[in-house]
Chains A and B, each alone.
Chain A
Amino acid sequence: DTGVSQDPRHKITKRGQNVTFRCDPISEHNRLYWYRQTLGQGPEFLTYFQNEAQLEKSRLLSDRFSAERPKGSFSTLEIQRTEQGDSAMYLCASSLDSYYGYTFGSGTRLTVV
């Protein structure tokens, strides 16, 4: 297993467009997490899944954001009607369970122009 994969690595989009990011976790990990990181800050929690169930969403995740994990495998994060404030690094991580260390992917850097 090569770790957590995220695609694309970089995305530039015009304000108002929709974007979708994909995360492929480590195959035996049942927990999957999305975080957002802006310059100079630590990552901020967005949401997490246990298998296919989305168990918690941050208040940072407005109605324009939606995440899915069909069949408990890969996950997608969609942002509708992007705004300049959405520009950030979107990070995905997975873990075997709550009490194991996270493995992060390389992230998707979103720039909204």
Chain B
Amino acid sequence: GIQVEQSPPDLILQEGANSTLRCNFSDSVNNLQWFHQNPWGQLINLFYIPSGTKQNGRLSATTVATERYSLLYISSSQTTDSGVYFCAVGETGTASKLTFGTGTRLQVTL
């Protein structure tokens, strides 16, 4: 099956700092989503982004499908951004079945 690797595994930031999270995948995809799992376990969909660039407030994401990676940018981080960020991909032909990466654990401190 498809492999999904995320980096870095852990990240500690001071409030106000910017960060870039990376997701590499091993095969062609036609579904890619970024999620934030907050400290209470709720998974929140951030972006549906199989290709191209999207922005939502302080967050933006870029997927370069031909090079098999996606990036999530967090600007001016806040303590509420803490949690685990997951990239999940659907292989071409099985788009409904998402394979999740192991996540990036982000801690934003004051």
Contact = CB atoms under 8 A, between A and B. Distances in A.
Nearest to B105: A40
A86 B106 CA distance: 28
Given A98-B90, A101-B33, A102-B33, A45 B48 contact: no
Contacts of A99: 30-31, 48, 50, 95
How large, as a class, is the contact surface on chain A? 20 to 34
How large, as a class, is the contact surface on chain B? 20 to 34
Interface string B68-110: 0000000000000000001010100011111111110000000
B54 to A, nearest CB: 11
B42 A106 contact: yes
A98 B31 contact: yes
A103 interface: yes
Label chain A's interface by main secondary structure. Answer: strand
Given A101-B45, A104-B42, A42 B96 contact: no
A33 interface: yes
B64 to A, nearest CB: 19
B94 to A, nearest CB: 8
Contact of A45 (B45, B99, B101, B103): B99
Interface in A40-77: 41-45, 48, 50, 55-56, 58
Nearest to B94: A56
B96 A106 contact: no
B57 interface: no
Contacts of B48: 99-101
Interface of B: 30-31, 33, 35, 41-45, 47-48, 50, 86, 88, 90, 94-103
Given A48-B96, A50-B96, A56-B97, 18 more contacts: A42-B86, A42-B100, A43-B86, A45-B97, A45-B98, A93-B43, A99-B31, A99-B48, A101-B33, A101-B45, A101-B48, A102-B33, A102-B35, A102-B98, A104-B35, A104-B42, A104-B44, A107-B42
